[in-house]
Amino acid sequence: MKNRNKEIVEFLQELSENNSKEWFDLNRSRYTDLRNYFIEVISLLIAGVSSFDASVSFLDPKKSIFRINRDIRFSANKSPYKTNFGAFIVPEGKKSGNAGYYLHLEPQQSFVGGGIHRPQANILNKVRWSIYENIDDFVDILNEDDFISNYGEIKGEKLKNPPRGFDKSFKYVDLLKFKDYTVIRNLSVTDLTKPDFVDVIVQNFSKMYNFNLFINNALKK
C-alpha cells in the first residue's frame, strides 16, 4: 500500500486554515478518500499488533478511528472539525477504559502513544493499587531499555500530593500521583513518509506492550 500520510497532513493543514462546514463540504470527497486510506492503515496496524497482543485481534478498524467532528456544545472553540486523524487500538474498544495503542496524525504534532488518558476514578485507583502492590514489576517495565529508548518515561498530569489511602513514605510514591498513565513518542515528517511506516509504528507499539499489559491486568482485579 502506498504511503499517503503526506496527503493527510496537507489536508489537515488546509483544514486548520479553513475550519468551516462550507470548506469541508467542498472537500468532503477528498476527506472520504483519505479516511478510507487511514482505515486501511489501522487495519494493518491491528494485524501487526495482534502478533504480540492477541487481545486486539478482532477489532473493527472503523470503530478504532475517532470522528473528525468536534463536540462544540460546551467549548469556547466553535471550530466544527478536529485537525487530526486519530485511532485507538485497544482491547474491547475505545470506550472500554483499557490501555491501548494510539496513533495521531497532525501537522507538526504527530505521535504514537499508549496507556490510559484521563481514566475514571475507579480505573485510576485500580492502577495505583496495582503499582503499589507490584512495584518491582512496574519499575522493571519502566527501566526496560526498549521502553526508555522509545518513550523515556510516563507522561501525564500529576497530583501535588500523594493520593488518599497510600503511604506517603512509599519509596515510589511519585508513580502513584499520575492522573494519566500514558507514554508518547513524537513522529517526524521523515517517520510519516517512510515506505515501511506501518512496520515502524507496529515496532513502536510493541515497545509499550508490557506497560499496557500491566495496566490492563490491574483493571481485571
Query: 41: buried, middle or exposed (CB in 10 Å: 19+, 13-18, 0-12)?
Result: buried
- pLDDT in the model for residue 120: 93
Q: Which residues pair with 87 in a beta bridge?
A: 65, 103
- pLDDT in the model for residue 76: 80
Domain that holds residue 189: 5-219
- pLDDT in the model for residue 74: 77
Residue 86 DSSP symbol? E
Rounded to whole angstroms, the Cα distance separating 161 from 179 reads: 12
Type of residue found at 115: G
Closest alpha carbon to 88 in 71, 100, 70, 105? 100
- pLDDT in the model for residue 75: 79
Q: What is the DSSP string of 24-44?
A: HHHTHHHHHHHHHHHHHHHHH
- pLDDT in the model for residue 207: 98
Q: Evaluate whether 179 touches 19 at the Cβ level (below 8 Å).
A: no
pLDDT in tens, the chain (221 residues): 899 999 999 999 999 999 999 999 999 999 999 999 999 999 999 999 999 999 999 999 999 999 999 987 877 888 999 999 999 999 999 989 999 999 999 999 999 999 999 999 999 999 999 999 999 999 999 999 999 999 999 998 999 999 999 999 999 999 999 999 999 999 999 999 999 999 999 999 999 999 999 999 999 98
- pLDDT in the model for residue 203: 97
CB atoms within 10 A of CB 163: 16
Query: 22: buried, middle or exposed (CB in 10 Å: 19+, 13-18, 0-12)?
Result: exposed
Q: What is the DSSP string of 94-163?
A: TTS---EEEEEE-TT--EEEEEESS--HHHHHHHHHHHHHTHHHHHHHHT-HHHHHHH-S-BS-B-SSPP
- pLDDT in the model for residue 55: 96
Q: How many domains does the chain have?
A: 1
- pLDDT in the model for residue 54: 97
What is this structure's pTM?
A: 0.95
Predicted confidence (pLDDT) per residue in 100-156, tens digit = 999 999 999 999 999 999 999 999 999 999 999 999 999 999 999 999 999 999 998
CB atoms within 10 A of CB 219: 18
